[in-house]
Structure 1
Amino acid sequence: MHWVEPYIAAYGSIALFIIIYFESFGAPVPGETLLIAASLLAQQGELSLPVMLLAVFLGAILGDSTGYLIGHFGGRKILIRFGPYIKLTPERLEQFEKLFEKYGSGIVITARFFAILRQLNGIMAGALKMHWLKFVSANIIGAALWTLVWGAGPYFFSALFKKLL
């Protein structure tokens, strides 16, 4: 984690916003790692914790929303065209749609905490026709929880971990 700290210290919360934004709609970047490093830098006084948390929260919401729009306007066509290559038949796609219809909010909230799912979350919700308002509310809740766990958690609990080591 030491390799990322100089970049975060140099570019601050705007860099975190951009990285989390791109990670949230599919780019394979180490957002969670950067968030933990930023939290520890905030504890050392090199970043403002409230500004950093706000930047990460907004980046997560806007990134997932961009992914939703990509999925909504183009993802379904891609799933239908290339789905058979990964054994995603029209029947399975229909099953996933029903799953998102029934459990979509929970899926969106919890997917934020798992790599790869975090990156595909918005795109899949859009492609599987999850209602926009349902998605936005779940996205806000998931982004808030994720930001607090990985952004504020290390800030407040790192002293406890130091004592244990």
Structure 2
Amino acid sequence: MSDIHHLLQILLHFDQYLIVFLQEYGAWVYALLFLILFAETGLVIMPVLPGDSMLFICGTLAGAGIMSASWLLGLLVTAAVLGDAVNYWMGRRWGAHLFGGHLLNVRYLDTTQRFYARHGGKTVIIARFLPIIRTFAPFVAGIATMPYRRFFGFNLMGAFLWVGGLLGAGYFLGRFPWVKSHLNIVIVAIIVISLVPAALAWLQQRLQPSEHPSSR
């Protein structure tokens, strides 16, 4: 229970922890942020890392002059693009085996496949803004053998929109006094809002009637 409480404290006060890390480790913090974002987008077993809130907080620190906006944008866009690329090739090479062996939750795959079928290639872009789904969308694209050149275009555009949008939102909104003094509330709001689509998809799946073969 104490571990969960400690994790919540880190999530809600990530800006304070990040400032301490910057004071102690300097530029190495940029490498840590790169690895966190790469892991969330590139490792299909890590779909719950706090990418959205982390990007917003980094933007607020860049707006305050504590971090470099250009370094953040360049490094984190690169991390997001590379993460999705690795995820795509993992899905293309090992996807069926991982889900067939029950190493990953098949429900996540089913949800993302339905989302993919509904929105097509745009899913790679849209999924960037949806936790859990953004981790599985490139994986499903790989399983479906989507042409990599086409995938890469959506991947690059989605990374710029997601990383740049949230960094920019933090950069400009973080200057407002209310946002500065209530940043933990803003972080919670970002987490809740970003999880709503995934929660609705899960609820829709739970409420959908099961298909049983008709009796003869």
Query: TM-score scaled by structure 1?
Result: 0.80
Q: CA RMSD in A?
A: 2.8
Take 1:63 and 1:112, find their aligned partners in 2: how far apart are those partners? 12
Q: Does 1:156 align with 2:176?
A: no
| Percent identical residues | 25
Take 2:107 and 2:135, find their aligned partners in 1: how far apart are those partners? 21
Take 2:107 and 2:61, find their aligned partners in 1: how far apart are those partners? 44
Matches within 5 A, 1:6-85: 6-9=16-19, 10=22, 11-25=28-42, 26=44, 27=46, 28-79=48-99, 82=102
Take 2:16 and 2:133, find their aligned partners in 1: how far apart are those partners? 28
The 3 A distance-change label for structure 1 pair 132 and 160 is same
For the pair shown, which has the larger CA radius of gyration, 1 or 2?
Answer: 2
Q: What's the CA shift string for 1:78-133, capped at 9, x where partnerless?
A: 34565xx9589xxx8xxx59x65x95320111010101111112111111111111
Take 2:17 and 2:141, find their aligned partners in 1: how far apart are those partners? 32
Take 1:153 and 1:134, find their aligned partners in 2: how far apart are those partners? 28
Q: Does 1:117 align with 2:133?
A: yes
Q: Look up the match of 1:143.
A: 159
Q: What's the CA shift string for 1:52-94, capped at 9, x where partnerless?
A: 1111100100011110011010002334565xx9589xxx8xx
Task: Classify the secondary structure of the residue corresponding to 1:159.
Answer: coil
Query: TM-score scaled by structure 2?
Result: 0.62
Return 5+ residue gaps in structure 1 as ranges: none
The 3 A distance-change label for structure 1 pair 158 and 125 is same
* Deviation for aligned residue 1:6: 3.9
Tell me whether 112-121 or 25-34 shows the greater mean CA deviation: 25-34
